[in-house]
Chains A and B, each alone.
Chain A
Amino acid sequence: MGELEELILLIVGIMNGKAYGIGIIEELEKRTGRSVAIGAAQTVLKRMEDKGWVTSQFGEATKERGGKRKRYYTITAKGKKIAAENREHRNSLWEAMPKLGLNYGSV
């Protein structure tokens, strides 16, 4: 799983059924300070949907969207499992790091 994939999957999970293209980009920027282009976010969303990590359905159309409908993404059980596994891998790496390496404040 790529870093952007992981971030977007988590944002979809956090937004709990209200995640759509621009909403995800805005939320990601608010939480991580990272700016993502529409094409990059959409590519990741399509790939994750293809892998069965998220599902999607059309929602409402709004005026600022020129009458175009939003597509809402929801994390699936498979997506949650992948995200949890990823977290475990990271945690195990953190636990494996020697304590000496974390005392950067004393350097």
Chain B
Amino acid sequence: MDQFEEQPPGWVRTLLRIIVHPEFQEEIEGDFLEKYQIDLKKCGLKIARRRLYADLFSIAKPSLIFNINRNTMKPRNWLVLLLLVLLVAVASVAPFLPGSSNNFAHGISQFAQVLGYIGLPFVPFGLVWLIIEMRNKNGQRLNRWTNGYYPSWLALIPVFVFLPLQITRTILSGQTLGIMPFPIIISVMAFFIYRIQKLKKKTDYKFNPAPLYIVLIPVIAILTSKFAVEKIAALTREKTIVRTQPLIAAIERYKTENGEYPENLESLKGKYIQEIPTPNLMGMRAYQYEKHNSSFQLSFERLWHWYATEVVVYNTLGQKGIKGNYGNYPTNHTNWWYYLAD
């Protein structure tokens, strides 16, 4: 009987070939087979099998599966990744940063938030490319799929579709300043296209971090939009409402003394209030005041949502719909409501 007749189960060798990075496959598979023979001689079949399965668990390590080392993700790749993630996160919350009201903050926030939803369908594709990229072998000859040339163009499709749509939408909405981010975005795109053209000639393997960006950027954008942006929006809404209370008190004092509500907010200046509060966040617009017969309405618009304008309204008569709204929500304050509108 051949002393090597008893071999490890076939599925173990198949699994090893699937899991272990191609660069290490030969030596690790050889080590498994040799160790199995040693254990068979020393301890018998049952224990040899048990040790084989334990060893199989021990190779489930990123560095043996993906060839992650200093030759793959270099410090500058990590730095670029960190900067891109920060850029998306800061752009998403730009309307809530202190500063005078402007459409630029809204434009980049909209872009960052939409980027997540547009990019999400491409995350699985990015994952597949990332696995291909991390399983490529040093010295391996690459073709236009494995060097990332075709995957890069596919990954850019959502941006090509989204960009003209977003520019048209911004122009039609009359937000002239809102188109300001687009030249920057187009410049970045031009740079990417230049880099993609260089990939065409790449025949030797060198790790390309692009798929990592395709996977992480949309995920970060969606997480920021879902958890940070909406939470910050709720928090700043509450704070602005509290900040508006002295103005409402001044309007009510005016009514008590004059028997009617003022015609405009300017009438309050001096005697009833020192200064009319002005927007203190980049995505907030000035207060709108409307006098009715026996009531008044005070409102302010906030531009942060990626497809709607938020209108926060105080009405002495309680909830009152506004034109073009498709969602109304209560706040923690009496007579204050907010709406999402076109």
Interface residues of A (CB under 8 A from B): 20-22, 25-26, 37-40, 42-43, 46-47, 50, 58, 61-66, 68-71
Contact = CB atoms under 8 A, between A and B. Distances in A.
Contacts of A69: 26-27, 30
Interface residues of B, number: 27
Contacts of A46: 24, 63-64, 69
B38 A22 contact: yes
A47 B63 contact: yes
Secondary structure dominating the interface of A: helix
Contacts, number: 78
B188 interface: no
A43 B65 CA distance: 10
A33 B144 CA distance: 51
15 contacts: A21-B31, A22-B38, A25-B35, A26-B38, A38-B32, A40-B58, A42-B31, A43-B63, A50-B71, A63-B4, A65-B31, A66-B33, A68-B26, A68-B29, A70-B30
B27 A20 contact: yes
Contacts of A38: 28, 31-32, 35, 55, 58-59
B54 interface: yes
B34 A22 contact: yes
A11 B309 CA distance: 68
B27 to A, nearest CB: 4
Interface in B128-148: none
B34 A43 contact: no
Nearest to B58: A39
A37 B30 CA distance: 14
Nearest to A68: B30
A39 B61 contact: yes
Contacts of A25: 35
